[in-house]
Structure 1
Amino acid sequence: MFQRSGLVLTPGRLTSVLVAAVLAAVAAFAVAPGPPRLGSVTTGDRALAQAVRQAAGSDGYRALSVALIENGAVRTAGVGDTGGPVPRPVDASTSFEIGSVTKALTGMLLADMAARDGLDPRSPVPGLQGSITYEELAGHRSGLPRLAGGLGTLVRAAAANYTHGNPYSGQGVSGVRAAANSATLSGRGTVAYSNLGMAVLGHALAERARQPYSDLLRRRVLDPLGMRATTTSVPPAGRAHGYVRAGHEADPWTSDGYAPAGVGIWSTSADLARLVDAMLKGDAPGAEAATPRFTDDETSRIGYGWFTTKTAEGEVTWHNGGTGGFRSYVGFDRAGRRGVVVLGNTDKDVDHVGLRLLGHEEPTPASTDPLLLTITAGLLAAAVLITWEPATRRRPSRSRPQADRLGAVNATANAALLLWVAWMAGAWGTVPFAAFILVAAVTAAGTAVHLARWRELPTARHRSRWLPALLSLAIDAAIVALLVLVV
């Protein structure tokens, strides 16, 4: 017989508890989060692939597709696989979401229309509040916030952090313009990164050209550069699948409204290498967009979408991108006549990989957010405590009232919810997945204790317990329903 803190487990009950723990551990092992790692598969230039592996390391990446442009010559390499139902080796033709690299293309549209169509970048955008100019939007100096405001935007963004879904779902062109006109302007004239502002710019240029943004981008920039694989829709086959660092697959991001800012745009390292090569030669449509015009900080200036940053080794003109499961970096060093494209299908930054390949040293980013690490540990600890605290109550006292069935049900539901949230959004790139298995086993054992004592427990120790208990269960159910609906 096992007895501690009033909890009595007969041999039969102890066996049930151990069986529950083992079964839970086996189930948890089958679904345990596994952080992405670069596999051994390699395509393209072997020397470049080796340089990529040295620059990136293996943790946090599933695949990287890279192009290096030197004195007009292009080398490409792929390491890792696409993921998805049928993983394939990535190469220069594999499509990735490129995220905010698209902002550089939108800036090039403005520069091209200024050069060829007589559009004055300093003129106000028709119908936009405050006489905000095209140039202010292109240089992130309009005073518009980073994203549209409103409760819906906040809920979608918060839910996407846990479900790895699309936070821009349902946000169309008219909604973007309406959000820009209702937003409070702040810090106008200083550089403050704005997805909303760049989205408004792209659609304003498209409206002036009397065609959709996707058609304008294709006609003015992509087709002249031969960028046939760059598209504003999810490729039907052969694409890379995006993953978060916990190992879960992320949904593609789509939004007509935010397309000019980088939502829903796909490309390949081979296509983007054409862009970089043309920018180095200065003959890309709207190449003047990369000319620095406004100061961002002590080391960085911005043109129309493109940033130029001073490093210890010189200057790099660049833009990066990030979506739910992808990261990208496109940059070039004019003095060194070298450019780079790095595309990755996880949410770990690739900027340092690109800079190192350009010959500009850059620190490796932190593998895990300390706050996320703390939250993960807290969720796991709370799941154990919530399950076992009522399980150890047997005799009532002033500080430890008598356990009841409602409390047992609530404890189990709350612990399961905490464990699920930790599984979906935890810092599993740092926390070993064995911790998830152990906590799942311990919480299952606590649930088995509840079931073993079920007959001897009252339904509720007092009538006043019903309302808070049912409210707690309703909240749990609502959270689960919300997360499931936005997956």
Structure 2
Amino acid sequence: MPANPVTALSPSPTPSDSRPRMLAILGAVLAVTIVLGALVGVALGPRTHLGEESTGDPRLVADVAAAVGDGRGRQTLSVARVENGQTTYAGLGVLGDDDSAASSPGPDTVYELGSITKTFTGMLLADAVERGEMNLDAPLSTYLPELAGTPAGTVTPRHLATHTSGLPRLPSTMGLGGALTAVRGGDPYRAQTPEDVIAAAREETLESPGTFAYSNLGMALLGHAEARAAGQATWAELARARLFTPLRMTSTSIVDGDDADQPWVATPHRANGRVVGAWASPGNDPAGSSTRTTAADMARFAEAVIAGTAPGMDAVTPLVDTGDGGRIGLAWFTVPVEGGSALWHNGGTGGSSSALAIDRAARTAAVVLSNSDTSVDDIAPALLHRTAPHPASPPTSPGTWLPIAVAALLLVSAWWRGWRASSRLSLFGAVADTMTAAIVARVLGPWHVLPVWLLGSLLACAFVGAVFALLRMRQAPTWPPQRRVPAVLDVAVSLLLLGLALLLLVAP
């Protein structure tokens, strides 16, 4: 064996009798790389499971742990349960990555609420009707005259609150740009104002009006109409004055874009452990883009709904079938549960999820707040009546595995290019492929499903693959002897993919 293995790896023209030796060296390097990378992945990889740490009522902690199962795809949970006038709390997991400051969440830990906010909007509508400010069956243009003469202007508050307006789920203007922002971990709604949302609604047509179809756009428009009818400058001010303050929800707020990522909010995460940004958009406040709250405040809200003392209680009366065995009132869903029915709504942002279930007849309620985008929908019903939990793993689909498949293919391509060393141009493309593979694997890989040691191994293989390609450049020809045009196009594709991958690392 040569005294310097690097020299053995460097030359492009490799004699046939030296290839087995070179292959043996590469195999040993890869084996060590995979083992060391796996150890680093275990030590430093993203946290993708709910930890064993907990605070609060031991019985509630045990019930939550049973409903959660192995806790894959979760960071922390802050939970409240109301039973016959008594409220208990539980916090599971660890907030923050700094062990010196790590702690489990408490009832006053602030989380993103998401679409449960729509129940506030529905109750404010019922309250406005009681005050004589709004009519459930008046055209929306009555309150938002900018929509006069448009299809959106003809729908009514009743249509909007029951999701039967025919408006799309999201404004058509959001399109691909909003989807790409969400993939990158940003807020697809950020910087949208009420005026932007109303202007977007002017361009929309109605599809199957009268049929239930969930619409964030419709609920946002309803909230802005409520603010206009009440003479309030914003829907956030209306919600504070008529709902949060009367119910003593002192830790609940509607934030603007500048306050979206304040450190007092439980940091949002994707299921694979990636940190993403919090959401905040004045234009979509009534639909749930910007609400921050605590388990304690949501328990107070649930207690008031159980007692019938919350403003706008007519909102909970079912009005329309949703087509799946449930019904909906003014934003409140009524769903069948053991022994009867329950009020229900869930919520989700780019990195948080929530659920609220209330059985008024049994005088029970369950609130679940999470700083991961893994659904908590199954947890709240299990806590409501202490039913036998059926813990489920985070849902997967063929798309779940796509990022890891792409990363693996890019690594194989990079190592093959490095082995062939047909030209410096090809090796340059190999380096680009290793970088793309590393970014895609870390940012989009399903590490709540796959072990994090695999992430460490992939990243290590990408690093060593890049070094191998760079070493092979020393004596490789600048251009391939033949097929120059395909070679250039091949590298161009590699650079394009790397550019797209780098966008995932840049804050949107």
TM-score (norm 2): 0.86
* Cα 1:305–1:474 shift into 2, 3 Å: same
User: Secondary structure at the residue paired with 1:392?
Assistant: helix
- Structure 1 residue aligned with 2:248: 226
- Structure 1 residue aligned with 2:120: 105
Report the Cα distance in structure 2 between the residues aligned to 1:48 and 1:219, rounded to whole angstroms: 33
Letter in 1 for 2:408: A
* Cα 1:298–1:453 shift into 2, 3 Å: closer
Q: Which moved more, 1:410-419 or 1:223-232?
A: 410-419
* Cα 1:475–1:31 shift into 2, 3 Å: farther
Letter in 2 for 1:115: E
1:46 and 2:68 matched: no
Report the Cα distance in structure 1 between the residues aligned to 2:169 and 2:17, rounded to whole angstroms: 56
1:386 and 2:413 matched: yes
1:143 and 2:169 matched: no
Q: Retained in 1: the 8 A contact 2:40–2:453?
A: no
Q: Retained in 2: the 8 A contact 1:63–1:344?
A: yes
Deviations 1:397-431 (A, max 9, x none): xxxxxx21111111221232133112111111111
Report the Cα distance in structure 2 between the residues aligned to 1:195 and 1:7, rounded to whole angstroms: 65
Q: Retained in 2: the 8 A contact 1:349–1:365?
A: no
Letter in 2 for 1:116: R
Report the Cα distance in structure 2 between the residues aligned to 1:352 and 1:31, rounded to whole angstroms: 31
Q: Retained in 2: the 8 A contact 1:82–1:345?
A: no
User: Secondary structure at the residue paired with 2:327?
Assistant: strand
- Structure 2 residue aligned with 1:67: 80
Report the Cα distance in structure 1 between the residues aligned to 2:37 and 2:89, rounded to whole angstroms: 46
Q: Paired residue for 2:287, among 238, 245, 261?
A: 261
User: Secondary structure at the residue paired with 1:38?
Assistant: coil
Deviations 1:152-191 (A, max 9, x none): 5422323422x32222122111111111121232121111
Report the Cα distance in structure 1 between the residues aligned to 2:16 and 2:50, rounded to whole angstroms: 45
Deviation at 1:5, TM superposition (A): 9.0
Letter in 2 for 1:133: T
Deviation at 1:17, TM superposition (A): 8.1
* Cα 1:303–1:362 shift into 2, 3 Å: farther
Letter in 2 for 1:232: I
User: Secondary structure at the residue paired with 1:77?
Assistant: strand
Report the Cα distance in structure 2 between the residues aligned to 1:260 and 1:82, rounded to whole angstroms: 28
Letter in 2 for 1:100: S
Q: How does 1:23-422 map to 2 (within 5 A)?
A: 31-42=44-55, 44-57=56-69, 58-83=71-96, 86-126=101-141, 127=145, 128=147, 129-130=150-151, 131-150=154-173, 152-161=174-183, 163-211=184-232, 212-233=234-255, 234=259, 236-359=262-385, 360=387, 363-393=390-420, 403-422=422-441
* Cα 1:356–1:30 shift into 2, 3 Å: closer
* Cα 1:470–1:386 shift into 2, 3 Å: closer
Letter in 2 for 1:226: R
Deviation at 1:468, TM superposition (A): 1.8
Q: Retained in 2: the 8 A contact 1:100–1:263?
A: yes
Deviation at 1:7, TM superposition (A): 8.0
TM-score (norm 1): 0.89
Q: Which moved more, 1:179-188 or 1:13-22?
A: 13-22
Q: Paired residue for 1:14, among 13, 25, 28?
A: 25
Report the Cα distance in structure 1 between the residues aligned to 2:120 and 2:268, rounded to whole angstroms: 22
* Cα 1:376–1:468 shift into 2, 3 Å: closer
Deviations 1:376-396 (A, max 9, x none): 3412321222112223326xx
Q: Retained in 1: the 8 A contact 2:181–2:187?
A: no
Deviation at 1:366, TM superposition (A): 3.8
Q: Retained in 2: the 8 A contact 1:40–1:79?
A: yes
Letter in 1 for 2:241: R
Superposition CA RMSD, Å: 2.8
* Cα 1:290–1:12 shift into 2, 3 Å: closer
Deviation at 1:113, TM superposition (A): 0.2
Letter in 1 for 2:283: G
Structure 1 runs, 4 residues or longer, greater than 4 Å off? 1-7, 9-13, 22-31, 234-237, 360-363
Deviation at 1:71, TM superposition (A): 1.6
Q: Which moved more, 1:253-262 or 1:120-129?
A: 120-129
Q: Retained in 2: the 8 A contact 1:24–1:444?
A: no
Report the Cα distance in structure 2 between the residues aligned to 1:113 and 1:7, rounded to whole angstroms: 84
- Structure 2 residue aligned with 1:399: none
In structure 1, runs of 5+ residues without a counterpart are 395-402
1:435 and 2:436 matched: no
Deviations 1:413-452 (A, max 9, x none): 1232133112111111111122222223333343333233
Letter in 1 for 2:68: A
Deviations 1:29-53 (A, max 9, x none): 66533313233231x3222222221
* Cα 1:9–1:298 shift into 2, 3 Å: closer
* Cα 1:7–1:56 shift into 2, 3 Å: farther
Q: Retained in 1: the 8 A contact 2:341–2:359?
A: yes
User: Secondary structure at the residue paired with 2:391?
Assistant: coil
Report the Cα distance in structure 2 between the residues aligned to 1:445 and 1:468, rounded to whole angstroms: 25
